[in-house]
Amino acid sequence: MSSADTKTQHAVTSEPAAAPRAQRWADPFQENNRVVFESDQVPASDRVDMTRELAGQLFGGFHLLPTKDPGFRAGVWASRAGDVVFGGGYVTSAQFHFGSWPNASSFPTPRREDDEGVFWIYLRGGVTVQQGPLDGLQGAGSAMFMHAEVPGTGVTEGCQVFGINLPSKAMRRAVGHDRHLAPVGLPSGDPLIQLLTGYIESAKQLPADADPALLNGIGRHLTDLVGLALGPTRDAAAQAANGGLKSARLDAVLRAIASNYADPEFSVAHVAARLKLSVRYVQDILHETGIGFADRVLELRLQEACNLLSRAHITNRKVSDIAFSCGFNNLSYFHRAFRRRFGMTPAGTRSS
């Protein structure tokens, strides 16, 4: 093994073998299902090369161009979900190529033969791109699909992104046709971007050894959502509505509940308005999980109250203060619900 290969192996926490500087694609997921890389972990002279190799392996067709900027920094994380790779990262000022560049043999872009392209979501910063019909600035909050076989260029002064590397077979299923998928941009505020961002945030929390069946489902759902942005057939759109779209909406509903349950005024109508869904849809999608809105909110409030009460002898907080801080506005109801859930009174939990 070369010294450069050894350095890369130590810099990537999942310890994939480094790709040789050649046109063949190397699998970065040789050790486990999660890859994490920080350029600060390697010598400054190797940062660009190692970032380029790993990013090219993870996001097919992406090729970071060499730079002599001594301040260059980058970070990459990625997980494999079936045939789909999703992840994110950041980069300082940089230029890149995307797609097939037959005249750039000195800077080959390794990628899998079945890569269709990458869907990028810009969380911070932006990039000026040119690929097919895409020509201009993609700013924070926007997204774009870049095709793996269409030559393109880009330049950024620094950005943070999410990326989804999409295989051809999965994308053809998602759009329902075999026509060429042209590069396309989505403006900031597009509901699909918001759903994809939240869904990736949730999927990122899964352990590296998560159930393969769960990861396969996440890969299908991510592909469904991207497919909706690329002009699917009516049948494909209907399948996505009952697959990835519903799953992402459920994830968004659950995240909204987890973030707002302590608000005593919180209601299913608040969730529906925030996500631009009907109250009935939110109720139905939760009903399918077996636990409705009111029961989920009550359980979260009770669990938080129990946690705080167990430490009340340290914090000297009153039972009433804890109840109100967890979203209860009726102490009698709080006491009844707490005793029914835990088999003891709030005061008993505090004293124990």
Q: Average of pLDDT values for 21-38?
A: 74
CA distance 253 to 284: 12
**Percent of the chain beyond pLDDT 70?**
88
20-24, 258-262, 269-273: least confident range: 20-24
- The pLDDT of residue 299: 97
**CA Rg value for the chain:** 24
pLDDT band at 98 (very low <50, low <70, confident <90, very high): confident
pLDDT band at 66 (very low <50, low <70, confident <90, very high): confident
pLDDT band at 106 (very low <50, low <70, confident <90, very high): very low
Whether the pLDDT of residue 188 is over 90: the answer is yes
- Give exposure, 260-285, as e/b (b: 16+ Cβ within 10 Å): bbbeeebebebbbeebebeeeebbeb
pLDDT band at 190 (very low <50, low <70, confident <90, very high): very high
Q: 5: burial class by Cβ within 10 Å (0-12, 13-18, 19+)? A: middle
Q: Average of pLDDT values for 283-301?
A: 96
* 220-237 pLDDT, tens digit each: 999 999 999 999 999 999
Report residue 2 as tokens. Answer: 């070369």
End-to-end CA distance of the chain: 60
pLDDT band at 7 (very low <50, low <70, confident <90, very high): very low
- The pLDDT of residue 104: 47
* 240-254 pLDDT, tens digit each: 999 999 999 999 999
CA distance 169 to 283: 34
- The pLDDT of residue 272: 96
Q: Which residues contact 192 (CB under 8 A, 6 or more apart)?
A: 143, 186, 225, 228, 229
* 149-187 pLDDT, tens digit each: 889 999 999 999 999 999 999 999 999 998 889 999 999
Contact 131, 158 (CB under 8 A): no
Whether the pLDDT of residue 276 is over 80: the answer is yes
Whether the pLDDT of residue 43 is over 60: the answer is yes
- Domains of the chain (ranges plus CATH)? 3-252 (2.60.120.10), 261-352 (1.10.10.60)
Considering 68-82, 91-105, 110-124, the range whose residues carry the highest mean pLDDT is: 68-82
* H-type alpha helices, 229-318: 234-241, 244-260, 268-275, 279-287, 293-309, 312-315
- The pLDDT of residue 241: 93
